Amino acid sequence: MFSAIPIQSISNELTPHFKGSIDVLRLDKLHTIVSGNKWFKLNRYLTEAKAKGFDTIATFGGAYSNHIVATAYAAKLMDIQALGVIRGERPILHSHTLQNALDYGMKLQFVSRDDYRAKKALQDRIDPLGELYWISEGGYGCLGADGIRDLFKSAPLWQYTHILTAVGTGTTMAGLIKGAYPYQQIIGVSVLKNQKTLLSEIQALLTEEEKLKNYLLLHEQHWGGYAKKSPALLDFMNKVYQIVKLPLDFVYTAKAFYALVEMLAMTELPRDSRILFIHTGGLQGNLSLEKGSLLF
Ligand SMILES: *Cc1c(COP(=O)(O)O)cnc(C)c1O
C-alpha cells in the first residue's frame, strides 16, 4: 500500500551548534488527512478483524481525534464497516475530523463524557453479543506496536542513532523500541500532562528483553497539556515552516520537534548524532485553529 516514504533532510539553521544530521520521516505525506503512524498502527488490527470474520470494527475517540478519522479511512480501504464511539454530545456542526470520518462511511455514536470514561461497560452496552471487533482508543496495543515496527521494513531506519517521536498512547514509541537496533536510542515526547503511567503502558507492550533497550520518555514538553497551545507554539510552527519548510501540527509534532530543537540547543545529544524525527502526521488537526494563525 505504501510506496517509498519521503525523507526530508533539515538544514542546521534552527540548531546552528549541532554538527550531526536531522532527517524527518514524512509519514504525514502518506495522506493529507490520515496521520501516517495511524496507518501502521491500524493495519494489523484490521487484518485480524477480517481474518476472524468480523464485518464491523469499532473504536473510541474525541471530536478531533486523528485515530477516528484514520480508522474510518482504513476501514473503507479494507472494505469493512466502522463505528466510531465519540466522546460528548452530538454537535450541531461536526468538526472537520468527524465530517471526514462520516464521509469515509464511518457511523458515529455520541456518548456522554461519563459514559465514555467507563469504556468496558459502554462497550458491553453497545455490543452485548460481541459482534464488533473493538480497537482500543488511539489504537493502543501489541498489534498496533507490531504494525509500527514494520516501519523498519518500509524505511531505512537503521541509518540513525536517535529516533524521535511524539507520544500519545505510546504505541508508536513501543513499536520503535521493538524494532530498534542496539546502537539506537528511541526518544518519545509525551504530549500529555501528568500521565505518570505512560512509561508502564509502553513497557506493557514490550518483552522483558525489549524493556532493557535504550529509550527515553520526556514528560515536560506538553505545553500545558493535551491539545493546549499558545501563541509561542504557533510562532514556533511558523518559524520552522519558514526556515526549513516543515509543516507541523499543534497537538503532537510541534511539541515533539520543539523538544528536539531544545535538546540540541542544550547539547543533550552527541554532536555527531544522526537523528530521525518521525513526522507522525496530524496536520488535519490544524483545521481547528483560527484562520490565519499559520503560514501553511
Ligand atoms: C496519534 C498520534 C500520535 C501518538 O501516537 P501514539 O502511538 O498514540 O503514541 C503522534 N502523532 C500524531 C500526529 C498522532 O495522530
Q: What is the mean pLDDT of each run of 10 residues along the chain (296 residues)?
A: 83 93 96 87 97 98 95 96 97 94 98 96 97 97 98 97 98 98 98 96 98 98 96 98 97 98 95 97 92 95
Residue closest by Cα to atom 2 of ligand 1: 168
H/E stretch holding 100: helix 96-103
Q: Is the CB of 138 under 6 A from ligand 1?
A: yes
CA distance 19 to 12: 8
Q: Is the CB of 167 under 6 A from ligand 1?
A: yes
CA distance 62 to 116: 10
Contact between 147 and 233 under an 8 Å Cβ cutoff? The reply is: no
Contact between 99 and 124 under an 8 Å Cβ cutoff? The reply is: no
CA distance 285 to 102: 16
Q: What is the DSSP string of 186-205?
A: EEEEE-SSS-TTHHHHHHTT
Place of cell 515496527: 149
Q: Is the CB of 100 under 6 A from ligand 1?
A: no
Q: Is the CB of 65 under 6 A from ligand 1?
A: no
- Beginning with the edge strand found earlier in the chain, give each strand of the sheet holding 21-26 in spatial order: 7-10, 21-26, 274-279, 162-167, 185-190, 215-218
For residue 156, the model assigns a pLDDT of 97
H/E stretch holding 223: none
For residue 236, the model assigns a pLDDT of 98
Residue closest by Cα to atom 5 of ligand 1: 168
* Per-residue DSSP letter, 293: S
Closest to 71 in 3D by CA, of 31, 51, 41: 41
Written as one letter, the residue type at 6 is: P
Q: How far is the CA of 129 from the centre of ligand 1 (A)?
A: 31
CA distance 146 to 160: 20
CA distance 40 to 24: 17
Q: Is the CB of 170 under 6 A from ligand 1?
A: yes
Give CA 78 to chain center in angstroms: 21
Coil, helix or strand at residue 211 = helix
For residue 3, the model assigns a pLDDT of 67
